[in-house]
Amino acid sequence: MKLKMIAVSVALALSNPVLAADEALDEVVVTAPQSSAPLTVKTDPKKPRQPVPAHDGADYLKTIPGFSVIRKGGTDGDPVLRGMAGSRLNILLDGEQIFGGCGGRMDPPTAYVFPGSYDQITVLKGPQTVLYGAGNSAGTVLFERSIDRDAQIGTHGQASLMLGSFGRNDEMLSATTGSEKYYVRADATRSHANDYQDGGGVAVHSSYTRWSGNAALGWTPDDATRMEVTLAKSDGEAAYADRAVDGSKFARDNFGAKFEKRNLGGTLEAVEAQVYYNYVDHVMDIYTLRSGDPSSMMAAMNPDRKTTGGRAVGTLQLAGDSQLKLGLDTQNNVHTNRMGAAPGYMGDYTLKARSKDAEFKNLGVFGEWHQDVGDTRRVIAGLRADSWQATDFRTMIMRGMTTVMNPTANQTRKETLASGFVRYEQDNSATHTWYVGAGRTARAPDYWELFNKESLTTASAFNTSSEKTTQLDVGMNYRAGDLSGSVSAFYSKITDFNLIQSNVMKGMTAVTVTRNVDATTYGAETGVTYALLDNWKVDGSLAYVHGSNDTDGTALGQMPPLEVRFGLNYDDKEWSFGALLRAVAAQDRVAVNQGNIAGQDIAATSGFGVFSLNGGWHANKAFKVSAGVDNMFNKSYAEHISRAGAMVTGYTQTTRVNEMGRNLWLKGDFVF
**376-405: per-residue pLDDT in tens?**
999 999 999 999 999 999 999 988 778 999
Contact yes or no for 56/250 (Cβ under 8 A): no
Lowest-confidence region among 61-65, 363-367, 633-637: 61-65
**146-195: per-residue pLDDT in tens?**
888 888 899 999 999 999 999 999 999 999 999 999 999 999 999 999 99
**Phi, psi (deg, nearest 5) at residue 629:** -130, 120
What kind and span of H or E run contains 318? strand 304-318
Interior angle at CA 591, CA 588 and CA 593, nearest 5: 130
Side-chain half-sphere exposure of 288, counting CA atoms within 13 A: 21
CA distance 174 to 159: 6
> What is residue 15's predicted lDDT score, i.e. its pLDDT?
29
Residue 25 has pLDDT above 70, yes or no: no
Is the CA virtual torsion 343, 346, 349, 351 positive or negative?
A: positive
User: Is this structure's pTM higher than 0.85?
Assistant: yes
What kind and span of H or E run contains 447? helix 447-450
**Phi, psi (deg, nearest 5) at residue 340:** 165, -160
**545-589: per-residue pLDDT in tens?**
999 999 999 999 999 999 999 999 999 999 999 999 999 999 999
> What is residue 247's predicted lDDT score, i.e. its pLDDT?
98
Contact yes or no for 587/595 (Cβ under 8 A): no
CA distance 599 to 559: 11
**481-539: per-residue pLDDT in tens?**
899 999 999 999 999 999 999 999 998 899 999 999 999 999 999 999 999 988 999 99
Rg, C-alpha atoms of the chain: 24
pLDDT-derived band at 26 (thresholds 50, 70, 90) equals low
For the chain, the first-to-last Cα distance in angstroms comes to: 39
Interior angle at CA 140, CA 241 and CA 262, nearest 5: 135
CA distance 46 to 39: 22
CA distance 78 to 83: 11
pLDDT-derived band at 37 (thresholds 50, 70, 90) equals confident
**121-134: per-residue pLDDT in tens?**
999 999 999 999 99
DSSP string, 385-422: EEEEEEEE--SEEEETTEEEE-TTTT-EEEEEEEEEEE
pLDDT-derived band at 52 (thresholds 50, 70, 90) equals confident
Task: Name the percent of the chain lying above pLDDT 90.
Answer: 86
Taking CA atoms, 395 is separated from 192, 357, 451, 458, in Å, by 41, 9, 12, 14
Contact yes or no for 330/351 (Cβ under 8 A): no
What kind and span of H or E run contains 156? strand 154-164
Domains of the chain as residue ranges with CATH: 17-671 (2.40.170.20)
